[in-house]
Amino acid sequence: MKKYIKIAGNVIMAAALVFVVKKLLDMDVSPSQFRSGRVLAALVAGAVIQTFIIIFSSIPWLLFTRSLSGVRIPFSSAMPVYTRSNIYKYLPGNVFQYVGRNQLAADMKISHVDVACATILDILFSVLWAGIFSVILLGARIAELLEKYGRNFILVGAAGTALAAVLVIVLRMKFRDKFREYISRYSKAFEKGRRGQLAGGISYYFANNAVSAAMYFICMALIVPDASVKEQIVLTGAFMFAWIVGFVTPGAPGGIGIREGVMIFVSGDRYSDRIILFVLVMRISSVIADVAAFVTGRIYLKIKQNGR
């Protein structure tokens, strides 16, 4: 059975890499767009920094998994799984990157529910901190964006709440004893000895989004130098806000088209051509970073295995 699971995993990975190439080809990139040294600098900076962000983003997910499972899972086991599953986001459906993380449950012989719940916490706090940073950077302009896109959040919030309520009811009715067991076990995550791991996972997103915001601002300043510092800060906030809109909008994988729309809505048509270029550079650097993080994870895993 393990042999067939491994084969299936390799097929899925191969398919994901094919879609990575497809995504790059679909961008219809022209070499002339990258003749400027400032644009190339933004591309390199975005790719390098995002690679490190992806690699170390496995840490909060790992901390949540440790806290919920009570098992001391090493970073060397979690990071390769995280960076590998991250590539799955290029597959149609935009959910396989989360499903793929449950490989850790099989590797460490822990509950799949523990890993799934850790992934849910990872998603929730990732979106929450991105939202907080975007609000801070956008300032008063957040009101205009909420008026335009607020309906998306209300619909998704209502649907998510209803789905969660139905799920809890079904689990309590069908798996009452098991449900109580997990509630009792997860309550221990708030005990003194394990509380720090939860807090560490939650606070990590502050640092993560601070680094991301700084990177976007620097790349924005390189590509849209004629905008004022205040405008660049607002555009950085708009870019982060647009990621959330794209995340919660069905049928818009990666927020394709949404980021340009949100940023141009905030700035008007003054920098529209540069904004479109900025978003393109960030998309390309993101793809490069995803692949680089995946390769790093594979090399790291091989080194650890050979060192045993």
Give the other-Cβ count within 10 Å of 283's Cβ: 19
For residue 165, tell me if it sits in a domain: no
Task: Among 105-114, 145-154, 239-248, 266-275, name the one with the lowest average pLDDT.
Answer: 145-154
Q: Of 291, 298, 297, whose CA–CA distance to 90 is shortest? A: 291
User: In the predicted model, what is the mean pLDDT of residues 138-158?
Assistant: 77
- Identify the DSSP state of 191: S
User: How much is the pLDDT for 307?
Assistant: 66
> What's the domain range around 104?
2-23+33-149+197-302
Q: What is the pLDDT of residues 199-241, one digit of tens each?
A: 888 889 999 999 999 999 999 999 999 989 999 999 999 999 9
User: In the predicted model, what is the mean pLDDT of residues 93-107?
Assistant: 86
Q: Residue written as tokens 């929450």? A: 128
Say which residue, 191 or 288, is predicted with more confidence.
Answer: 288
Say which residue, 179 or 165, is predicted with more confidence.
Answer: 165
For residue 272, tell me if it sits in a domain: yes
Whether 251 has a pLDDT exceeding 60, the answer reads: no
CB 66 within 8 A of CB 197: yes
Which residue type is seen at 168? V
Report the share of the chain in percent with pLDDT over 70.
84
For residue 285, tell me if it sits in a domain: yes
- The whole-chain average pLDDT of the chain stands at 83
The model's confidence at residue 286, banded by pLDDT at 50, 70 and 90, is: very high
Task: Among 91-105, 115-129, 240-254, name the one with the lowest average pLDDT.
Answer: 240-254
Give the other-Cβ count within 10 Å of 296's Cβ: 17
Q: Of 205, 222, 204, whose CA–CA distance to 46 is shortest? A: 222
Q: What is the pLDDT of residues 153-171, one digit of tens each?
A: 677 667 767 776 776 676 6
For residue 254, tell me if it sits in a domain: yes
For residue 167, tell me if it sits in a domain: no
For residue 50, tell me if it sits in a domain: yes
Who contacts 290 (Cβ-Cβ below 8 Å, separation ≥6)?
20, 54, 86, 87, 89, 90
The model's confidence at residue 67, banded by pLDDT at 50, 70 and 90, is: confident
CB 208 within 8 A of CB 128: no
Q: Of 253, 219, 274, whose CA–CA distance to 19 is shortest? A: 253
- Give dist(CA 128, CA 244) in Å, integer: 9
What backbone phi and psi angles, to 5 degrees, belong to 143?
A: -60, -40
DSSP string, 32-51: GGG-SHHHHHHHHHHHHHHH
Q: Of 111, 112, 84, whose CA–CA distance to 100 is shortest? A: 84
Angle between helices 272-306 and 2-26 (to 10 degrees): 160
CB 259 within 8 A of CB 253: no
Q: What is the pLDDT of residues 6-41, one digit of tens each?
A: 677 778 888 888 888 888 777 777 777 778 889 999
CB 288 within 8 A of CB 90: no
- Give dist(CA 196, CA 182) in Å, integer: 20
Structural domain total, the chain: 1
Local structure of 29: helix, strand or coil: coil
User: How much is the pLDDT for 155?
Assistant: 73
For residue 308, tell me if it sits in a domain: no
For residue 188, tell me if it sits in a domain: no
